[in-house]
Structure 1
Amino acid sequence: MLLNTIELGPENGDRSQPPVVFLHGLFGRARNFGFFQRRIAATRRTLALDLRNHGNSPHGMMDYPTLAGDVRETLAAHDALPATIIGHSMGGKVAMMLALTFPVDVHSLLIADIAPGKGGFSQSQSLAGKMADLRFPDFLDRAAADALLGRIISEKPVRDLMMMNIDMGEHPHWNIGIQEIAASMPAIVGWPEMGDGVHYDGPTLFVAGGRSHYITPDNYPAMRRLFPNYRLETIPDAGHWVHAQAPAAFLELLVNFLSEG
Structure 2
Amino acid sequence: MTKRLHTLTVGTVGPRIAFLHGLFGQGRNWNQIAKALAGQDGSAAQCLLIDLPDHGRSPWTAEFSFAAYADAVAATLRAAAPGETWTLVGHSLGGKTAMVLALLHPDIVDHLVVVDIAPKDYGSLERFQGYIDEMRALPLEEIESRADAEARFEEPNPGVKAFLLQNLRSDRSHGRTQWRWQANLELFATDAALGHDSRIAGWPKSVDDLPPYEGPVLWISGGDSPYVQPEDGDTMRRYFPLARQVTIKGAGHWVHTEAPEIIVEALRRVLARER
TM-score by structure 1 length? 0.90
Moved more, 251-260 or 141-150: 141-150
CA-to-aligned-CA distance 1:171-219 (integer Å, 9 cap, x gap): 3221222212322441110001132563111110111111101000121
Separation of aligned partners in 2, 1:182 and 1:66 = 19
> Counterpart in 1 of 2:173?
none
Give the CA deviation at 1:83.
0.9
> Counterpart in 2 of 1:87?
90
Separation of aligned partners in 2, 1:33 and 1:189 = 22
Contact 2:143/2:149, CA 8 A, preserved across alignment:
no
Separation of aligned partners in 2, 1:137 and 1:4 = 27
**Does residue 171 of the first structure (1) align with residue 178 of the second (2)?**
yes
Letter in 1 for 2:208: G
Letter in 2 for 1:87: G
Give the CA deviation at 1:133.
4.7
> Counterpart in 2 of 1:183?
190
Separation of aligned partners in 2, 1:141 and 1:130 = 18
SS in structure 2 at match of 1:115: coil
> Counterpart in 2 of 1:6?
8
Contact 1:138/1:171, CA 8 A, preserved across alignment:
no
How many residues are matched?
254
Contact 2:33/2:264, CA 8 A, preserved across alignment:
yes
Separation of aligned partners in 2, 1:163 and 1:245 = 20
> Counterpart in 2 of 1:230?
243
**Does residue 158 of the first structure (1) align with residue 170 of the second (2)?**
no
Separation of aligned partners in 2, 1:122 and 1:154 = 18
Aligned-pair identity (%): 35
Separation of aligned partners in 2, 1:202 and 1:103 = 8
> Counterpart in 1 of 2:32?
35
Contact 2:4/2:76, CA 8 A, preserved across alignment:
yes
> Counterpart in 1 of 2:271?
258
Hey, which bits of structure 1, 4+ residues long, moved more than 6 A? none
Give the CA deviation at 1:167.
2.1
TM-score by structure 2 length? 0.85
> Counterpart in 2 of 1:136?
140
Name stretches of at least 5 consecutive residues in structure 1 with no aligned partner.
Answer: none
Contact 2:219/2:246, CA 8 A, preserved across alignment:
yes
